[in-house]
């Protein structure tokens, strides 16, 4: 048995993130800024290291969802512009302002809150809801009134941008066009008021599929980490997955016919078969939906997950011969030999998206960083 230092590990290749950002900048085209989305702990990859990697590759700004995420970047020494994309409560707004973050506005009440709370100029982006149906105002005139209020707010407010967000850039180009048809008149009228504003709406899927959406800045998220926003194959777009999730074989035992494994006895051996237990489970981000459905790589071979995924363990069916050994590495996301398990494949097996697979890797799993194999 070889020594194993960690029961589970997420290894993140920062060089892959840098190459993905370079690729996305190429797709965005010259003169278009790139705002790297590092919310949700950089989609499970680690916010501060990934923010630094994106900036090294030419990103000019960062985006998060919450005030706490903006504070985390500042605490980590990141000084680039940070845009908070999400709603801010009365308690959270002071945190965002203290971090020097840029914020999103769609109501006059919020603009007035910012003005009262600001000790320094705050850059604000006005959001028009063109079809996502979440944040932002659907009313063009209200959005323009918010922009006018910001522009008239004196030295503590700065009208910095105009934005919207696409609902289905990964699958419905007609609706993207419909959203653009609503957004473009807003942009035209706002530019007459403030010619220097930055206009942005393109997420990862729109960067790849819809050049007309690029405007002055793009906001890639999943693609920056090497995920395919269409949940298919990243390499089709020149993207490289940055994260590998591994564990190890903690036990190997023979199951006789009629013997079971896991809660609920969802797997019962029909013949003599060897089982391997990995010390990783749903508390680490391996969803219960993978039981009887997922696969894991050991020694370059795919083995099925059998029985119920538990909080701390999963079990693999090895077969009639004990062809894996205690201590061997097990790959749940990543490459082993000629075989590869992508976040997209896991997502399809579970009926979800690669975003959820990556974001679901819990904080209990340590992250380790390298650049093409060299630790950093």
pLDDT digits 0-9 by tens, 329-365: 999 999 999 999 999 999 999 999 999 999 999 999 9
Range with lowest mean pLDDT among 2-6, 140-144, 256-260:
2-6
Phi, psi of 44 (to 5 degrees): 85, 0
Q: Are residues 256 and 156 part of one domain?
A: no
pLDDT digits 0-9 by tens, 282-335: 999 999 999 999 999 999 999 999 999 999 999 999 999 999 999 999 999 999
Place of tokens 């290291």: 49
pLDDT digits 0-9 by tens, 56-85: 999 999 999 999 999 999 999 999 999 999
Catalytic residue chosen out of the listed positions 127, 248, 253, 263: 263
Q: Are residues 289 and 214 part of one domain?
A: no
From CA 39, how far away is CA 221, in angstroms rounded?
8
Task: Read off the tokens for 323.
Answer: 């062809």
Residue 135 falls inside a structural domain: yes
**What is the mean pLDDT of the segment spanning 215-234?**
98
- In the residue annotation, 267 being an active-site residue is answered as no
**What is the mean pLDDT of the segment spanning 92-96?**
98
pLDDT of residue 154: 85
Q: Are residues 38 and 143 part of one domain?
A: yes
Q: Are residues 214 and 267 part of one domain?
A: no
pLDDT of residue 153: 84
Measured in whole angstroms, the distance separating CA 112 from the mean position of its chain's CA atoms is: 32
Q: Are residues 268 and 208 part of one domain?
A: no
Residue 200 has pLDDT above 70, yes or no: yes
From CA 30, how far away is CA 23, in angstroms rounded?
12
Residue 305 falls inside a structural domain: yes
> Cβ distance 62 to 35 under 8 Å?
yes
**What is the mean pLDDT of the segment spanning 97-112?**
98
- CA distances 44 to 11, 114, 314, 327, 364, Å, are 11, 30, 21, 26, 11
pLDDT of residue 76: 98
Q: Are residues 287 and 261 part of one domain?
A: yes
- In the residue annotation, 43 being an active-site residue is answered as no
Residue 2 falls inside a structural domain: no
> Cβ distance 292 to 309 under 8 Å?
no
Residue 4 has pLDDT above 70, yes or no: no
Catalytic residue chosen out of the listed positions 39, 225, 303, 369: 39
**DSSP states along 288-354:** GGGTTT-EEEETTEEEEEES---SS-EEEEEESS--S-TT-EEEEEEEETTEEE-HHHHHHHHTS-H
Residue 369 falls inside a structural domain: no
Q: How confident is the model at residue 3 (pLDDT cuts 50, 70, 90)?
A: very low
Q: Are residues 267 and 222 part of one domain?
A: no
Task: Tell me the average pLDDT of the chain.
Answer: 97
pLDDT of residue 372: 98
Hey, how many other C-beta atoms are within 10 angstroms of the C-beta on 8?
24
**What is the mean pLDDT of the segment spanning 89-98?**
97
Q: Are residues 251 and 219 part of one domain?
A: no
The CATH number linked to 68 is: 3.20.20.10
From CA 301, how far away is CA 346, in angstroms rounded?
16
Q: Are residues 286 and 210 part of one domain?
A: no
Task: Read off the tokens for 270.
Answer: 């029909």
Which domain range does residue 157 map to? 14-227
Residue 371 falls inside a structural domain: no
Flag whether the pTM goes above 0.85. yes
Q: Into how many domains does the chain fold?
A: 2
Pick the last residue of a domain from 227, 261, 277.
227
Q: Are residues 287 and 209 part of one domain?
A: no
pLDDT digits 0-9 by tens, 136-161: 999 999 999 999 999 998 899 999 99
Residue 3 falls inside a structural domain: no
Q: Are residues 118 and 46 part of one domain?
A: yes
From CA 40, how far away is CA 287, in angstroms rounded?
18
Q: Is 118 helix (H, G, I), strand (E, B) or coil?
A: coil
């Amino acid at each position: 048995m070889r020594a194993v230092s960690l029961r589970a590990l997420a290894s993140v290749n920062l060089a892959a993130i840098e190459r993905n950002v370079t690729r996305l900048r190429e797709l965005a085209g010259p003169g278009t800024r790139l705002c790297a989305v590092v919310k949700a702990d950089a989609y499970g990859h680690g916010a501060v290291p990934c923010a630094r990697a994106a900036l090294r590759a030419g990103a000019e700004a960062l985006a998060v969802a919450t005030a706490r995420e903006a504070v985390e970047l500042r605490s980590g020494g990141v000084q680039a512009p940070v845009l908070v994309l999400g709603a801010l409560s009365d308690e959270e707004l002071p945190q965002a302002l203290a971090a020097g973050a840029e914020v999103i506005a769609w109501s006059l009440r919020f603009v007035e809150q910012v003005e009262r709370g600001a000790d320094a100029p705050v850059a604000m982006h006005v959001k028009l809801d063109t079809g996502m149906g979440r944040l932002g105002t659907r009313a063009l005139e209200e959005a323009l009134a918010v922009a006018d209020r910001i522009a008239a707010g004196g030295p503590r407010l700065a009208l910095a941008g105009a934005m919207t967000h696409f609902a289905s850039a990964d699958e419905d180009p007609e609706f993207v066009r419909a959203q653009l048809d609503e957004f473009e008149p807003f942009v035209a009228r706002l530019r007459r008021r403030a010619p220097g504003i930055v206009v942005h709406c393109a997420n990862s899927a729109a960067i790849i599929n819809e050049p007309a959406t690029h405007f002055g800045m793009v906001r890639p998220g999943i693609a920056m980490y090497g995920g395919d926003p269409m949940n298919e194959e990243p390499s089709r777009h020149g993207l490289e997955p940055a994260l590998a999730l591994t564990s190890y074989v903690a036990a190997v035992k023979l199951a006789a016919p009629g013997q079971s494994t896991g809660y609920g006895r969802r797997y019962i051996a029909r013949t003599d078969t060897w089982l391997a237990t990995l010390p990783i489970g749903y508390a680490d981000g391996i969803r219960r939906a993978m039981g009887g459905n997922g696969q894991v790589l050991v020694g370059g071979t795919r083995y099925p997950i059998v029985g119920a995924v538990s909080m701390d363990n999963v079990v693999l069916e090895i077969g009639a011969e004990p062809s894996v050994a205690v201590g061997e590495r097990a790959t749940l996301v990543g490459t082993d030999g000629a075989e590869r398990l992508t976040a997209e494949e896991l997502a399809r097996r579970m009926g979800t998206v690669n975003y959820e697979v990556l974001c679901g890797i819990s904080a209990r799993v340590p992250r380790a960083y390298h650049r093409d194999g060299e630790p950093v």
